[in-house]
A and B are shown apart, each in its own frame.
Chain A
Amino acid sequence: MHYLPNILFAVLLIIGIGFFAKNVKKLIRNIRLGKTVDRSDNSSLRLKNMINIALGQSKMVKRPVSGFLHVIVYVGFIIINIEVLEIIIDGLFGTHRIFSSLAGFYGFLIGTFEILAFLVLVSVIVFWIRRMILRIPRFWNKEMKGFPKNDALYILYFEMVLMSLFLVMNATDTHFQQANSGNLISQFIAPLFNGFNAETLHIIERGAWWIHIVGILVFLNYLYYSKHLHILLAFPNTYFANINPYGKFSNLKSVTDEVKMMLDPSIDPYAIPVESDTPVDTVPDKFGAEDIFDLDWVQLMNAYTCTECGRCTSVCPANITGKELSPRAIMMKTRDRIEEVGKNIDKNGKFVADENNLFTTISNEELWACTSCNACVEECPINIDPLSIIMDMRRFLVMEKSAAPQELNAMMANIENNGAPWQYNQLDRLNWIEE
């Protein structure tokens, strides 16, 4: 009976981590549904970007208030995790505050944790106020209804509860309070429990301890379903992000081959195709993206990484002027579709064609409102590229569906016929000299 708590703890830990591992596997499987794209070049620059942008939060602090608060929560999250290590050891081996043998240094550690926990608590409350009282517009766009809105709030509540539990746990730990080392914040909470007998205090302390660790395990498993996945994916996402100038859009290789053939006078259009290594029944690459399979894996990772902060949407010229387009919604809808496909695979063992694709939720109107200005790409604190998805979907509309807006068809016909987007004669190209 003596070992019961240890066994219970070990079981909870195994279930928590095991379930998380299962979801990570699923996550990787889903991201791999995307097409290959080579991002193995320039690893030193990539590493530098990851260190600056993900670890160093360099783009986050461009908006000083939310950036600063985010840094506090982030630093708190990382450092307080050292405490989780102690909790795990204590839980598994039935010890109590195993690191306390470090004496003075332990006091310093816990003191730091307490201050951070307090700062995190305050920051998270400010975050909540920004969302719910100040109602900052980017949190209230139309895509932020239902789960996306609640998701953000759940995370804030989670953090509030976890931090409070940590402080209460310390406040009700009589020995810890008596040692009076490192109880920088909890000493002010302890008086709230004056008059409780030792037994009750112990129960509260144990209760806080258990709920704290169980809460952490639940939170860990909530990540996969939440926008909060960015705490993990921000790192690979910034590493594998596009490092070319933003203006450089990919040249479709499949198109290059065909164009070269069309422009090469030595090629006989009626020639029998040369035998190639590719099997006859392979489906040729689609032009542009109709579904998530036509996007590359970095674009799919982008979708899972998006934390729906809406900075992209708040700088999007189309969105600012009331158009349907919201770059954040593009990322959210892409993720929803990946999840839908993932569930389809879970159920059927492999993907069984359904009636849906990216166009089920992303409208042509959204896609055509984009000015390709790259403001969203520049703004994203973790280098997500909504523009690349918009462009790939436009390519599908134009090249596979011939579904460009009428005016653009006219513009393109002009380029084809007279080498300019307007109807001017190519031979008049030098008229400006005489005017």
Chain B
Amino acid sequence: MNVPIMADMMALDKQPEILFWVGCAGSFDDRAKKITRAFVKILNSANVNFAVLGVEESCSGDHAKRAGNEFLFQMQAITNIEVLNAYNIKKIVTTSPHSYNTLKNEYPELGGQYEVVHHTEYLKTLIDEGRITINKEKYAGKRITFHDPCYLGRANNVYEAPRFLIKELGVNLIEMKRNRSNALCCGAGGAQMFKEPEKGTKDINVERTEDALKVNPEIIATGCPFCNTMMTDGLKSKEKEDVIEVLDVVELIANAQGL
């Protein structure tokens, strides 16, 4: 796996086509790291000239902001913006809808103006430009449902890019009853990922997993490391984790390509 670091590139006076914003989950969470690696493998196979910030990347501050800590968010944002601007970054791709949303919508006012795309949008571009061709053999005919991450869907109106990719795999894409703008949250957003839920009758991820189970899928696809965790936990609570897989769209593609 070839992972160019931005500082090294700068030293060689080179500029990447895109900066891959790995995000905290993608860097540290064991499950999410697999998503990161799958994406990098595809970038490598498509010969994309990219770079990561590596140790110079810091938390986007999204969770702090949603938790109400605007101070911490802006400290993180302004620090990150200084790094990104120093490297003269123009285009950022990220596998986390949370980083995606905050970099795209909340950084500009603080001095960080970049073109920010989610990895599903970027992968669609790679296909449109003929830089990757999807192998349809691996998943042909599989029943796959897609869980819309709130910060990709409702927050930014990206509903079709991930669906386009899933359909490219030649699978049987089945929609849950609540989908697209009506999709139910997995329960992780708004900093819920980091705390126990309030008292209630059920956990949100269980409710959402039940939505998925109703359409009887073989795979639940999503496009967010946090949704991935929540849906996986939901399946565990239903003791279905051995029969149904939760995969990021980019993992489906990497698997299909045999990467």
- A residues sitting closer than 8 Å to B (CB atoms) are 244-249, 251-252, 255-256, 258-260, 262-263, 287-288, 315, 317-318, 320-325, 365, 368-375, 377-378, 391, 394-399, 404-405, 407-408, 410-412, 415-416, 419-422, 424, 426-433, 435
Q: How far is the CB of A118 from chain B (nearest CB, A)?
A: 34
- Whether B150 and A412, one on each chain, are in contact in the complex, defined by CB atoms closer than 8 angstroms, is no
Chain B neighbourhood of A404, CB < 8 A: 67-69
> Given that A251-B109, A260-B78, A263-B79 are known contacts, is A287 also in contact with B66, CB under 8 Å in the complex?
no
* Residue B101 CB within 8 A of the other chain: yes
Measured between alpha carbons, how far is A369 from B195 in the docked complex, in Å?
Answer: 10
28 intermolecular pairs with C-beta atoms under 8 Å apart: A245-B105, A247-B154, A248-B101, A248-B155, A251-B74, A252-B74, A255-B74, A263-B79, A287-B71, A315-B182, A317-B185, A317-B204, A368-B198, A371-B150, A371-B187, A373-B190, A374-B150, A394-B67, A397-B68, A398-B68, A405-B195, A410-B194, A411-B194, A419-B59, A421-B24, A429-B28, A429-B54, A430-B27
Among B52, B155, B188, contact of A245 (Cβ-Cβ < 8 Å): B155
- Whether B3 and A368, one on each chain, are in contact in the complex, defined by CB atoms closer than 8 angstroms, is no
Chain B neighbourhood of A324, CB < 8 A: 198-200
- Known interface pairs A371-B204, A412-B69; 10 further A-B residue pairs with C-beta atoms within 8 A, sorted by A's residue number: A246-B155, A248-B105, A249-B105, A259-B71, A315-B182, A369-B197, A398-B68, A421-B24, A422-B24, A432-B33
Q: How far is the CB of B39 from chain A (nearest CB, A)?
A: 11
The number of A-B residue pairs with CB atoms under 8 Å apart is 217
- Whether A365 and B106, one on each chain, are in contact in the complex, defined by CB atoms closer than 8 angstroms, is no
- Per the 8 Å Cβ criterion, residues 186-210 of B in contact with A are 187-204, 206-208
- Whether B154 and A246, one on each chain, are in contact in the complex, defined by CB atoms closer than 8 angstroms, is yes
- Whether B105 and A368, one on each chain, are in contact in the complex, defined by CB atoms closer than 8 angstroms, is no
> Given that A398-B68, A405-B195 are known contacts, is A372 also in contact with B78, CB under 8 Å in the complex?
no
- Whether B70 and A371, one on each chain, are in contact in the complex, defined by CB atoms closer than 8 angstroms, is no
Q: How far is the CB of A1 from chain B (nearest CB, A)?
A: 64
- B residues sitting closer than 8 Å to A (CB atoms) are 1, 3, 5, 22, 24, 26-29, 33, 36-37, 52, 54-55, 57-59, 61, 63-72, 74-76, 78-79, 82, 101-102, 104-106, 109-110, 150-151, 154-157, 181-182, 184-185, 187-204, 206-208
> Given that A322-B201, A415-B59, A426-B58 are known contacts, is A371 also in contact with B110, CB under 8 Å in the complex?
no
Measured between alpha carbons, how far is A415 from B102 in the docked complex, in Å?
Answer: 16
Chain A neighbourhood of B199, CB < 8 A: 322-324, 365
Measured between alpha carbons, how far is A317 from B148 in the docked complex, in Å?
Answer: 14
> Given that A251-B70, A404-B68, A430-B55 are known contacts, is A374 also in contact with B154, CB under 8 Å in the complex?
yes
Measured between alpha carbons, how far is A248 from B70 in the docked complex, in Å?
Answer: 13
Chain A neighbourhood of B204, CB < 8 A: 317-318, 320-321, 371
Measured between alpha carbons, how far is A420 from B58 in the docked complex, in Å?
Answer: 7
- Whether A399 and B110, one on each chain, are in contact in the complex, defined by CB atoms closer than 8 angstroms, is no
Among B3, B27, B200, contact of A318 (Cβ-Cβ < 8 Å): B200
